[in-house]
Each structure stands twice: as C-alpha cells, then as structure tokens.
Amino acid sequence: MVRTICSDKNGMKKGSWSEEEDNKLKAYILRYGHWNWRKLPKYAGWRIRLSGLSRCGKSCRLRWMNYLKPKVKRGNYSQEEENIIMKLHDELGNKWSAMAAKLPGRTDNDIKNHWHTHLKKRAKQNGKLKETSESSQSIGTCQFELEDSQQRDDQEWALDSVVDIDPSQQTSESSLLQAESSDYAFNHAMKQNMDDSITSSSETYHADTIETFWNQPFLLENETTTNDVRASIVDHEFLSPNSPIYCEELLSRYGFYY
DNA sequence: AACGACGTCAACCGCTTGCGG
DNA sequence: CCCGCAAGCGGTTGACGTCGT
C-alpha cells in the first residue's frame, strides 16, 4: 500500500512517510505555520539534511493536507457522505477539491480515491437504472433523500465544525477555528519573520534555532508543564505575539510541544 | 499452500492558476 | 503586460492487501 522509500537526484526523499517524518512535519507546521511550502523543508532541514526533513515542499504539502492536518477524516464513509459525493459528482464532475470543500474533514485525494474505487461503479449502475426507467419511482425517492440529506448535512456540518470534542473544550475549539481562519495573516507574519531572520545579520542564530528544533528530542506532554510550554511558545520569536490563542489551542488540542 | 487477478489508497507528476514584482 | 514563482488541482502510478481459484 505504501511506496518504498527512495531518493530523487537532488537527494530528496520520496515514497512513504515514516512516523518520525510525520512527527517532524506536524511539529514544524504547528510551530511555524506553512507560510511557504517550497521553502519549508529548506528552512527546516536543508542545513541538516541527515537528521532533518529531506522532502520537497510539494510532498510536505500533500502529506499535511491529506494526512496530518487536524480534522482530516479517512475511510469509513457514511451512506450520506457517499450519496452527497455522487450528487456532487453529478453536478460538478471531477472537481474533487470543490467536493472536498463541501465535505468537511474529507480531502480531495480521499474523495477521488473513494470515487474511483467505490462510487464510480455505483454511479454507472444508477445511470443504467435511469436509462431503463427514467420515471422510476425508486430513483425519484432516492433523489429526494439526497436533497434532504444534503440540507440536513449542511446544517449539521455547520454545527459539526466543532467536531468530536468534549463539551468542556468547545470554547477553545471555536477559538482554534477563528485562529485557523486567520491563517493567512498568521502565515504572512511568519513569512515576514522568517524572511527577516534569513536576511538579517542574525541569520546564523535563527538557522541554528530551527536546526535545534529538528534535532531536539520530542517532548511529550507529561515531560513538561503546560506553563512551561506556554511560556516557550509565546517566548519563541518566530511566533506572532498577536496569536496567543493559536498557541493556546495547539496546546489544548495536541497536548504536546516540541 | 501457492499464485494470479483485482482492489485500495498514499504519493507522485505535470499542468493550470493566481499573485507579486 | 510580462515573467517567474508558489500553490492548487486532477490524473496516474505503484506497492501492498485481499480474494478467488
């Protein structure tokens, strides 16, 4: 199922991601944001190719978007989700990203795969059914159900944006959503900081800081205190001082800090 | 048990789009 | 307006799993 690990001519690793790489990428993005995918691995691992992340930016982006990003659901499609995908495919064609936008937690890649492996056949069968019996009552009923479920899902998903969390955490989850919606501003600030850092006279210091990030061992929640972590995050110069909520939420959501 | 055919899905590739200089 | 770069998108690949013979 997974590709074997190999390298391209630039020494960039290809193939399946190891757990360690996942952890590093996740930790890096949670800490610094993804202000520039192409430069991410450069800043993150270029100087420390042997112990860092020797992946191209595209690969990093894909891994994050399809696998590591919070709230990404995989597999176990519900009947309603499948119905919606089929309906959307009817309307939109192979616009996987547009479909993903309407199916929170699902990625375009995942929907595409699910379509090709499960739903395409069903769609063909339905097509045949339609051909043989345009006015078939069963299909009419089916379409009603789809529209009905779509409306219901739209409502539920609006609420479900805050999903599978315990009620005591809902406030912070909402805050995270707010923080996520300001990703652009945050990433822009990050980029500014990074660009400044690279071009400034203190380049060595910043590069070393990032290098340290990749080389230092992961600290699990029980190895540090929340206050220490909070202080570490807020004190870190790469983080926007304007996004304490973001920091707070990373902690409450992931419970760790690298 | 062995083997081939088929299914699944993570990851890659190349093209398109959008944006800033 | 043009050019270059980065991100996004959709098609395709390929390795592993599963099933049938």
CATH (domain of A101): 1.10.10.60
Residues A49 and A156 in one domain: no
The dihedral formed by the CA atoms of A84, A88, A94 and A100, expressed in degrees to the nearest 10:
-60
Positive or negative, the CA dihedral A86, A91, A93, A94 is negative
User: How far does the CA of A24 sit from the C1' of C3, in Å?
Assistant: 35
On the question of pLDDT at A254 being above 50, the answer is: no
Split at pLDDT 50, 70, 90, the class of A82 is confident
What is residue A184's three-state secondary structure? Answer: helix
Tell me the nt nearest to A111, Cα to C1'. B9
Residues A36 and A192: beta-carbon distance below 8 Å: no
Residues A106 and A73: beta-carbon distance below 8 Å: yes
The dihedral formed by the CA atoms of A227, A184, A61 and A78, expressed in degrees to the nearest 10:
90
Structure confidence at residue A117 (pLDDT):
80
A230 contact to strand C (CB, 7 A limit) = no
A252 contact to strand C (CB, 7 A limit) = no
Tally of structural domains, chain A = 2
Lowest-confidence segment of A53-57, A148-152, A157-161 by average pLDDT: A157-161
Split at pLDDT 50, 70, 90, the class of A5 is low
Burial string for A158-177 (b: 16+ CB within 10 Å, else e) reads eeeebeeeeeeeeebbeebe
Residue at which a domain ends, from A162, A183, A204? A162
On the question of pLDDT at A105 being above 60, the answer is: yes
Split at pLDDT 50, 70, 90, the class of A148 is very low
Residues A177 and A64 in one domain: yes
- What's the distance, CA A174 to chain centroid? 17
Residues A63 and A94 in one domain: no
Q: Which nucleotides of C are covered by protein (CB under 7 A)?
A: 5-12, 14-17
AA letter at A235:
D
What does the mean pLDDT of chain A come to? 58
Residue at which a domain ends, from A142, A162, A182? A162
On the question of pLDDT at A76 being above 70, the answer is: yes
Tell me the nt nearest to A97, Cα to C1'. C9
Residues A60 and A174 in one domain: yes
Residues with Cβ within 8 Å of A40's Cβ and at least 6 positions away in sequence, in order, are A28, A29, A34, A57, A60
- Domain hosting residue A118, numbered range: 79-162
Structure confidence at residue A209 (pLDDT):
54
Q: What percent of chain A has pLDDT over 90?
A: 0
With vertex at residue A46, the alpha carbon angle to CA A42 and CA A47, rounded to the nearest 5 degrees, is 135
Q: Is residue A143 part of a domain?
A: yes
On the question of pLDDT at A7 being above 70, the answer is: no
Residues A85 and A52 in one domain: no
d(CA A169, CA A181): 18
Residues A61 and A173 in one domain: yes
Residues A242 and A183 in one domain: yes
On the question of pLDDT at A4 being above 50, the answer is: yes
Residues A218 and A185 in one domain: yes
Residues A85 and A152 in one domain: yes
Q: Is residue A1 part of a domain?
A: no
Residue at which a domain ends, from A162, A190, A225? A162
Q: How far apart are the first and last CA of chain A?
A: 30
Residues A190 and A64 in one domain: yes
Lowest-confidence segment of A57-71, A106-120, A226-240 by average pLDDT: A226-240
Residues A100 and A48 in one domain: no
User: How far does the CA of A64 sit from the C1' of B17, in Å?
Assistant: 21
pLDDT: which is higher, A61 or A255: A61
What is residue A6's three-state secondary structure? Answer: strand
Structure confidence at residue A129 (pLDDT):
60
Residues A188 and A155 in one domain: no
Q: What percent of chain A has pLDDT over 70?
A: 39
